[in-house]
Structure 1
Amino acid sequence: MSMGERVNSTIRGIKTVIYGRTAMILLGFLAQLILLCVGYILLRNYSYLFYAFFLSVSAVAVVYIFNAPGDPDLKLAWMLPIAIFPVFGAIFYVTIVSQPGTKVMYARLVQQAENTRKYVRPREAAWEKLRNENPHMGQLAHYLESCDNSPVYDNTQVKYYPLGDSQFVDMAEELKKAEKFIFIEFFIVSSGKMLGDILDILKEKARQGVEVRFMFDGTNMLWNLPSFFPDMLEEEGIRCKVFAPIRLIFSPHYNNRDHRKILVIDGKVAFTGGINLADEYINQKNRFGHWKDAGAMVKGDAVERFTYMFLEMWNESERLPESYDKYRLPKDASVPSDGYAIPYSVCPLGSERVGEMVYLDIINTAHTYVHIMTPYLIPDDRMIMALTYAAKRGVEVIIIMPHVPDKKYAFMLAKTYYNQLLEAGVRIYEYEPGFVHAKVFVSDHVKAVVGTVNLDYRSLYHHFEC
């Protein structure tokens, strides 16, 4: 590269920073902070009144948090800053708790779940069969259906992928077979070979008359995708939605991201797991050494739940209800199987922590072993107690972590839990070739979870997962 080209490249980079969406959003947040400071300066003569008021609010908030139901760790996380910084702590807590946006979103999702119930075919026979074979698993299935609207399915086949490389090949092949509809929902979408190849297939399918819907998390619009990406898809006949896009005005609901990875094809095939639409997930791009991920392809009756999970999230922002009749499970979708599948979703806005409860259930009922892969290890007290107790009662508990982390601060924090877990008998290994992004729980050759839920607070408490 010549000197002139380097200069031009540098100038373009500076312009990108100055005029980019990320910079504009940061300026918007900064402007709000400045307004807050200006307001404080103008009202400083009445500061003692404001201090007394917020001190009272803080006291009420601490008492309320202490007596409210919920996780003790989260209570302490709120009570400490409120007690140390009564003014800003109280303002922050009231802002978060009173946020109407999240309450409206949760009410809409509850309504969507109710709408889904009338389309789900009865699954009592599968549940009764499972309960007779394994009473405990029957109880877990009952919990997921009653608390998450996620029934148990038989007549389902699942193919496990130990790497994103092999899953991508099958994703592309199955997409080419689509005849009716394609639903795509991913947390990370970034330009490269993976996205380019998939978009080429989607464009061709849209031209053939296949209904294609594409949804991704709004954080991608900050640094992964150009601002015109949604419009570009719409022009190609692909319906596109951005989940919770980041605006200039700060809102606490930005904390709840769509971390799910779902691909549904014709209601017959579904993919899920840790793999996003970016080249590092299929080892076409080296970021942190070899990328170890995991995913699953589902065929048969259980695909129905993935279809409805996608439609519920898609229609959260719609004002009118949508009929799901044409997306119902096809009559020829059933396949022979020797097991059961329960696709489930995780909503951070309610009081039920489905993702954590499933993990805790697997650990607490294990007889021989529990093997875990997770990119992050920031467990709460309940998870630590379950892991250590399982190891102490003779269960082989193994956790595989990355050796090359993507977030050094998260990795350093995970290390602080190592001693407590190791002393209890938990065995921890690090994947030396690179980064582990898989989210896998396997126990006793009987049950397994392959999904999107990490062993950290963001996945267990703040993200939409599956």
Structure 2
Amino acid sequence: MQYDWLHLGSLIVIAHVLGVIAACHAILNTRTSQGAIAWAVSLTAMPYFTLIPYLFLGRSKFEGYVDARRLENELLRTRAHPPVWDMNPASGGRATEEFGEAVVRSLTKLGGMPFLPGNSVRTLVNGDATFAAILDAIESAQHYVLVQFFIVRDDELGQMLKELLLAKAAQGVRIHFLYDSIGSFDLPHGYVSALLAGGVDIHPFATNRRFVNRFQLNFRNHRKIVVVDGLRAFVGGHNVGVEYLGGNPRLSPWRDTHIEMRGPIVQSVQFVFIEDWHWATQQLPHFDPPPAEPSADDMHCLVMATGPADKQETGSLFFVEAINAARERVWITTPYLVPDEAVFSALTLAVMRGVDVRILIPSRRDHYVVFEASKLYAYELIRAGVRIFRYRPGFLHQKVVLIDSVAAAIGSANLDNRSFRLNFEIMVLTIDRAFADEVEKMLERDFAEAFEVDRSEYRKAPALRRVTMHVARLFSPIL
């Protein structure tokens, strides 16, 4: 018995020593001070529970990866960007008139892409409308199809997509398919093999091209992109899985939003795919630009492609600048409410300016820790004057930002640190009063099916639940 206790004591000492070493590593390498503090405290106090998660989630710097990816993107944007960018026709146009010259300049510089006019965009509300439009567009493809999703499942929807892509490949259409290696970790090898055998060029997106880093779950490609012949592009919140059609009873009905774009902005979306494809394959596919199509709309759009290789904290700064630009209202819908200090401060200052700030979040959870942390952030935002609503019918997964009666942004980025700093994301910002009105009506329907949260959600929670919220928030830098 004495030998067993000695053995246990030695293991405890070793765990704490390793925890201290890992804490030092976190302080030196974690990208934000909040993240460094969270990891350092948890690793020294609870190494038995946090050492293994730190191996998978802790590093927000990955030696050589960020520099290599950044250099690659800079070269591509300098030498291989779409010709339409050189025209820069949006300079001094409606985007500047409606949104302000300073905001247009800052967002253009932040994202590294210009505002482009002459576009049309429509909302695709929920999975049936989204995948009906995407599958219809792929069915009409004549030259090429680009497909990129974070999650691809081998279920009924995944099979529909696979069979359609195989049919188009058999017709001579070039198919490029990119999926995230971690998000689609359970995608069977047979699914990929069947596409490869049928002429579909399919690859996983991984952190490192040279080897699979099994201890790195950060730096995921969370983008959802479909481009058809350079004429139509789709981005938004949906992945390929029946749960996005309401197939998961616990979370059904699933509430999500995609958009379909036509016009010059499609070239910017396509270029984001090309950047990711080049990283994954070291191939630079060439696509002839489609013939110019006259558009009845003159919507100005900007693609904001954010990721951990950016020089700046692009994801967070995009939200901060968009919120700071608001004079009347900021309405945000997000499945995960874990903002960083910069976004929290921007929301608070917007309230002080008299802006109507509302955030719509789910009332059902799909990730326990994130959900508990979001309750505490919701309470603090309510204290700051932000109105928080919870969507009743099912799980809310859409990522939408509405600014005044002028601008709307829709894409894949959540209001959390993972989207701000650890994932590759894409948002499309539109400057158009008619489209903003369409988005406003869509969100009004969502708010009508929600209830407003007050301070009692936190105050009346049992003491143990409040402790859980505070503990969950410690992990907010990696959620």
- Flag whether TM exceeds 0.5 (same fold): yes
- Equivalent position of 2:409 in the other structure: 449
Distance in 2, matches of 1:304 and 1:403, equals 37
Match of 2:365 among 405, 425, 430: 405
Higher mean Cα deviation, 118-127 or 302-311? 118-127
Distance in 1, matches of 2:37 and 2:302, equals 34
Contact 2:88–2:116 under 8 Å retained in 1: no
**Which runs of 5 or more residues in structure 2 are unaligned?**
1-9, 427-479
The one-letter code matched in structure 2 to 1:244 is A
Q: How does 1:203-218 map to 2 (within 5 A)?
A: 203-218=166-181
CA gap of 1:422–1:202, structure 2 versus 1, over 3 A, is: same
What do the CA deviations read for 1:415-462 (whole angstroms, capped 9, x no partner)?
Answer: 011221112221111111110000000011111110000011111110
- Equivalent position of 1:20 in the other structure: none
SS in structure 2 at match of 1:292: coil
CA gap of 1:296–1:213, structure 2 versus 1, over 3 A, is: same
Distance in 1, matches of 2:61 and 2:132, equals 44
CA gap of 1:170–1:423, structure 2 versus 1, over 3 A, is: same
With structure 1 as the length reference, what TM-score do the two structures score? Answer: 0.78
Q: How does 1:37-436 map to 2 (within 5 A)?
A: 71-77=32-38, 80=41, 97=61, 99-117=63-81, 119-130=83-94, 132-134=96-98, 136=100, 138-223=101-186, 225-244=187-206, 250=213, 253-319=216-282, 322=284, 324=286, 327-436=287-396
Contact 2:82–2:271 under 8 Å retained in 1: no
Identity %: 27
**Which runs of 5 or more residues in structure 1 are unaligned?**
1-40
Distance in 2, matches of 1:333 and 1:174, equals 17
Distance in 2, matches of 1:254 and 1:379, equals 20
- Equivalent position of 1:30 in the other structure: none
Contact 2:227–2:266 under 8 Å retained in 1: yes
CA deviation after TM superposition for structure 1 residue 347, in Å: 1.4
Higher mean Cα deviation, 333-342 or 106-115? 106-115
Distance in 2, matches of 1:427 and 1:154, equals 34
Higher mean Cα deviation, 249-258 or 198-207? 249-258
CA deviation after TM superposition for structure 1 residue 193, in Å: 2.7
Higher mean Cα deviation, 387-396 or 309-318? 387-396
Distance in 2, matches of 1:428 and 1:74, equals 25
The one-letter code matched in structure 2 to 1:123 is M
CA deviation after TM superposition for structure 1 residue 323, in Å: 5.5
CA gap of 1:83–1:140, structure 2 versus 1, over 3 A, is: farther
The one-letter code matched in structure 1 to 2:193 is D
Distance in 2, matches of 1:177 and 1:60, equals 52
Distance in 2, matches of 1:334 and 1:380, equals 42
CA deviation after TM superposition for structure 1 residue 104, in Å: 2.9
CA deviation after TM superposition for structure 1 residue 164, in Å: 2.1
Q: Tell me the C-alpha RMSD between the 2 structures.
A: 3.4
Contact 1:262–1:271 under 8 Å retained in 2: yes
Distance in 2, matches of 1:402 and 1:221, equals 24
Contact 1:217–1:242 under 8 Å retained in 2: yes
Distance in 2, matches of 1:198 and 1:417, equals 38
SS in structure 2 at match of 1:448: strand
What do the CA deviations read for 1:387-407 (whole angstroms, capped 9, x no partner)?
Answer: 122223321111111111111
What do the CA deviations read for 1:118-173 (whole angstroms, capped 9, x no partner)?
Answer: 6444232222213652362x433333433433211111000012222211111121
Higher mean Cα deviation, 343-352 or 407-416? 343-352
Contact 2:221–2:423 under 8 Å retained in 1: yes
- Equivalent position of 1:24 in the other structure: none
The one-letter code matched in structure 2 to 1:387 is L
The one-letter code matched in structure 1 to 2:217 is Y
CA deviation after TM superposition for structure 1 residue 337, in Å: 1.4
Contact 2:59–2:216 under 8 Å retained in 1: no
Contact 1:234–1:240 under 8 Å retained in 2: yes
How many residues are paired up? Answer: 410
With structure 2 as the length reference, what TM-score do the two structures score? Answer: 0.76
Distance in 1, matches of 2:58 and 2:371, equals 32
Distance in 1, matches of 2:251 and 2:58, equals 40
Distance in 1, matches of 2:364 and 2:96, equals 45
